[in-house]
Structure 1
């Protein structure tokens, strides 16, 4: 199932990567679900490349990414659902190895693989971390999965029955609806992992995640996802896992701030810093604060100090209210 929005040119590469390993209509449904694209016409791409093999559905109105992902689930007819974004790709062997995993371990409800980050021109940038050295079911994976999101959409397939049991993607999580979903999936079924890099995840400046990073909204959204997960995590682990997740998110924000500074995006860097302060109290130690204030003076001047001070006041107010 391929959700799209204004990415028709890249959709050509996505479809080609799927059709290259198409087992036939008896074994796999291929459908593009478009969220009312305004800048191009993915239906033309489907007609040209699909040759009748690929179905096309256009939403009656723009529904947003998360609802469009949920539409992929509701429109799927197979036992397994692979939501492959219209700008991502799969490598040869993805579907055959996923099928082999499902046959070898019938109890699993999801399977994901190692993946490769690529740029707009399909150039490989880096590989995701190896979660285990050999294919198999992931044990004791909840701490890693709740600390950060190690799974990107093109790398994972989920049983339709699991999706139907736990519900669709959270409509209020703009950046982290997938992370929220994978946590819920893991809590409801065994999950298989394949260390072979069989999926390609595209990172480019036009992506939603890149836009959110410029305002710090990606960190605010991650914080919201952590709060949502706290309600369904095992009660004896929820507090510890949530704290660790907030700490990791805050440190990631500071790392992003450094990268943004090097790239000349000063305001975006400041947004990441202020969101980091809202996220984790451990960052407000004397040493961290001294370094932060020094960096703020150097890069942002008085306006930066005011924003950091406002973030601290906001965090303290939230702590008192909680």
Structure 2
């Protein structure tokens, strides 16, 4: 049994990441691709990396498969990567956090990019982030803004810009504590940072937010204001699955409480209120939009219930009332539509 398999799937504390022995030859980059049942997207992910391949001496590219059952991932990687992309398969399914830990442990490069097997990077990502690390050697991580893309790969919307110029971000921990401002696909981290601070832990939704805050407590972040990454939104993701039970909100509350411990004591209470308010607003707006798309009452009810348990104010009350009105009146509106069909 592998080391990851012998441990709990969701570690409560950051798993240690051992340093690479000094006599090991190391590339500049490790592009580690954790994958689980995402074969429909994995081809695009790998291609997006190979189009900017720096060569084996500078870039390690490896898919770490958490025992996918939707396809023969080993054959897919071999056919597409032709030996250039390495493949590692867990002995048993270990869950997302342990798979990320395996990715970091297997990474040999100075810079690690955890590129999920359903996301993509645009041409120029690695050269631009390399430049950021060189220009700002004191930073522990560097990232760019990203596009949100639909399951089909089409643009949905763009993330916010944190700066209009390449820079080291000011007061980043406190800004990050307000709400999640990053996606895995956009950020790369120095391996030495993981060696000092450990791997992902605590929850399976929002674990990245906690990690980026943990890093921001100890290191500065570099920013490149170019849209160089693409985060895919689809119903088979961990994010979507957590929405169905309300686990996303429960996990985020734990993350907010943990991030709070990284802040000065005099700011903790205020920042906790701000973070819970911001996340509640975001969840309600997402739930509102998604309900009109899929009419899934189960998800809507679970999100409303959990949001009301962490934050209530005038906006939350109004938005919840609006959503419940639409849910409860939908059967009557359907009946009316059946009697008065649209004319063609």
For the aligned pair, the TM-score class normalised by the smaller chain equals: 0.7 to 0.9
Change (3 A) 1:108 1:55: same
Of residues 169, 178, 182, the one that matches 1:151 is 182
Is it true that 1:76 corresponds to 2:104 in the alignment?
Answer: no
More helix by share: 1
Displacement of 1:296: 3.9
Is it true that 1:207 corresponds to 2:237 in the alignment?
Answer: yes
Contact 2:281-2:316 at 8 Å conserved across structures: no
SS of residue paired to 2:177: helix
Is it true that 1:21 corresponds to 2:52 in the alignment?
Answer: yes
Contact 2:166-2:223 at 8 Å conserved across structures: yes
| 1:90 aligned partner | 121
Q: Which moved more, 1:27-36 or 1:236-245?
A: 236-245
Change (3 A) 1:124 1:165: same
| 1:247 aligned partner | 277
| 1:188 aligned partner | 218
| 1:49 aligned partner | 80
Displacement of 1:222: 0.9
| Structure 1 segments unaligned to the other structure (5+ residues) | 302-322
| Structure 2 segments unaligned to the other structure (5+ residues) | 1-31, 330-344
Aligned ranges 1:108-119 → 2 under 5 Å:
108-119=139-150
Structure 1: how far apart are the matches of 2:183 and 2:322? 36
Aligned ranges 1:3-18 → 2 under 5 Å:
3-18=34-49
SS of residue paired to 2:153: coil
Contact 2:177-2:260 at 8 Å conserved across structures: no
Displacement of 1:266: 2.2
Structure 1: how far apart are the matches of 2:284 and 2:36? 31
Change (3 A) 1:152 1:298: closer
Displacement of 1:186: 1.1
Aligned ranges 1:226-241 → 2 under 5 Å:
226-241=256-271
Displacement of 1:51: 1.3
Is it true that 1:224 corresponds to 2:249 in the alignment?
Answer: no
SS of residue paired to 2:132: helix
Q: Which moved more, 1:38-47 or 1:151-160?
A: 38-47
* Number of residue equivalences: 297
TM score, norm. by length of structure 2 = 0.82
Of residues 208, 229, 238, the one that matches 1:178 is 208
Displacement of 1:294: 7.5
| 1:141 aligned partner | 172
| 1:168 aligned partner | 199
SS of residue paired to 1:232: coil
Contact 1:7-1:42 at 8 Å conserved across structures: no
Instruction: Please give the per-residue CA displacement for 1:171-223, whole angstroms capped at 9, x wherever unaligned.
Output: x3111111111111111111001110000111112112112112222111111
Contact 1:119-1:203 at 8 Å conserved across structures: yes
| 1:316 aligned partner | none
Contact 2:112-2:190 at 8 Å conserved across structures: yes
* Structure possessing the higher relative contact order (Cα contacts under 8 Å, 6 or more residues apart): 2
Change (3 A) 1:248 1:48: same
